[in-house]
């Protein structure tokens, strides 16, 4: 638990530590109650996100007894309830292991791109869930002791990201801004040749779920709208299983996406399919590791 984002302190004596904990608990109760009572305004996205932060702040305060983080997320909730755009947690504000920094940085980049491409407007509830579950994941990962909560938040994040049409780009440098900050979303659409769409899959599966289908819908719409010369589909797996098996599984995933695009009216001659198995992992892991972010198909355009 970080007491303040980006700030650490040392309790010099036990009495001081208890006093600070008491103050933090009092402040969290006050601001969580304020969030419970406030009527959210603004866009459907900010109202939905305020509700997500309200639920999480109450959980941290009343179930986890984590008053500092309850206070932090209550403040984010109050900002969103006022109609402000609040960003997902900056990775650099949390005390994480290097492997978790890399994984969460990639995930945050995916989320930011999906939000900036219009997910706040087109899928406000799921976009709010994606942001709230990312913040849950990073907070739980720092604490790293509630084994059940980390994979739950992580899975729910990727499920929601799939639904809003997750895309990935090289991680941007951390902005180091305080998390509760009003910021307007960048305007302007991404060039088709710069876009990369991701369809995630369940473990040992090549069937496209509802979230993945929404990504395929977006791809099909973009192909029909733009003058696209070709669509490249590459399947991947995590490192669980043999390389030979994973090569076949990644091909099945790529072909599932290809078939789904053809079913949506895309000319099969435009579609190029490849499979990489467990090569080019999006999240580097050791062998035999089940990693949801690596179970994917990537879709790019050539214009």
Q: 47-92, pLDDT tens digit by residue?
A: 999 999 999 999 988 888 888 888 889 899 999 998 888 999 999 8
Residue 194 has what pLDDT? 66
Section 260-283 average pLDDT:
94
Which run of H or of E encompasses 19? helix 14-37
How far apart CA 254 and CA 38 sit, in angstroms, is 47
Flag whether pLDDT at 134 surpasses 90.
Answer: yes
Flag whether pLDDT at 17 surpasses 60.
Answer: no
Ranges 6-20, 23-37, 62-76, 129-143: which has the least confidence: 6-20
Residue 237 has what pLDDT? 96
How far apart CA 303 and CA 301 sit, in angstroms, is 6
Higher pLDDT, 16 or 52: 52
Question: Position of tokens 């799939």?
Answer: 162
Flag whether pLDDT at 46 surpasses 60.
Answer: yes
CATH class (in words) of the domain with range 192-302: alpha beta
Q: How far is CA 285 from CA 26, 113, 281, 289, 299, in A?
A: 42, 24, 8, 6, 23
How far apart CA 108 and CA 171 sit, in angstroms, is 8
Q: How far is CA 86 from CA 43, 106, 152, 161, in A?
A: 12, 19, 23, 17
Residue 192 has what pLDDT? 61
How far apart CA 298 and CA 303 sit, in angstroms, is 17
Flag whether pLDDT at 11 surpasses 50.
Answer: no
Domain ranges of the chain: 14-163, 192-302
Residue 147 has what pLDDT? 67
pTM: 0.52
Return the structure tokens found at 11. 């309790």
Between the two ends of the chain, the Cα-to-Cα distance in Å is 47
pLDDT per residue as tens digits for the range 149-207: 899 999 999 999 998 876 444 344 444 444 444 344 444 455 666 678 889 998 899 99
Q: How far is CA 12 from CA 2, 16, 72, 96, 113, in A?
A: 17, 7, 23, 24, 43
């Amino acid at each position: 638990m970080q007491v303040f984002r980006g700030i650490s302190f040392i309790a010099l004596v036990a009495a001081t530590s208890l006093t600070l904990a008491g103050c933090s608990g009092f402040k969290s109760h006050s601001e969580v109650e304020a969030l419970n009572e406030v009527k959210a305004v603004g866009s459907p996205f900010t109202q939905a996100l305020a509700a997500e932060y309200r639920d999480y702040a109450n959980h941290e305060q009343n179930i986890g007894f984590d008053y500092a983080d309850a206070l932090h997320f209550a403040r984010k909730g109050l900002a969103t309830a006022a109609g402000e755009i609040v960003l997902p947690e900056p990775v650099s504000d949390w005390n994480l292991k290097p492997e978790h920094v890399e994984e969460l940085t990639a995930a945050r980049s995916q989320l930011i791109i999906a939000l900036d491409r219009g997910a706040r407007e087109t899928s406000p509830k799921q976009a709010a869930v994606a942001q709230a579950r990312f913040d849950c994941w990073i907070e739980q990962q720092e604490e790293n002791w509630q084994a059940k909560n980390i994979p739950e938040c992580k899975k729910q994040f990727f499920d929601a990201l799939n639904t809003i049409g997750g895309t990935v780009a090289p991680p941007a440098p951390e902005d180091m801004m305080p998390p509760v900050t009003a910021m307007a979303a960048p305007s302007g659409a991404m060039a088709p040749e710069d876009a990369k769409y991701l369809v995630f899959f369940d473990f040992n599966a090549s069937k496209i779920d509802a979230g993945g289908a929404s990504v395929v819908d977006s791809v099909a719409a973009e192909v029909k709208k733009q003058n696209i010369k070709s669509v490249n589909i590459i399947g991947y797996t995590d490192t669980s299983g043999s390389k030979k098996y994973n090569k076949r599984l990644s091909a099945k995933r790529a072909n599932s996406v290809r078939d789904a695009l053809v079913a949506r009216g895309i000319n099969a001659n435009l579609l190029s399919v490849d499979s990489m198995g467990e090569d080019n992992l999006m999240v580097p892991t050791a062998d035999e590791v089940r990693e949801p972010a690596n179970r994917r198909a990537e879709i790019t355009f050539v214009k």
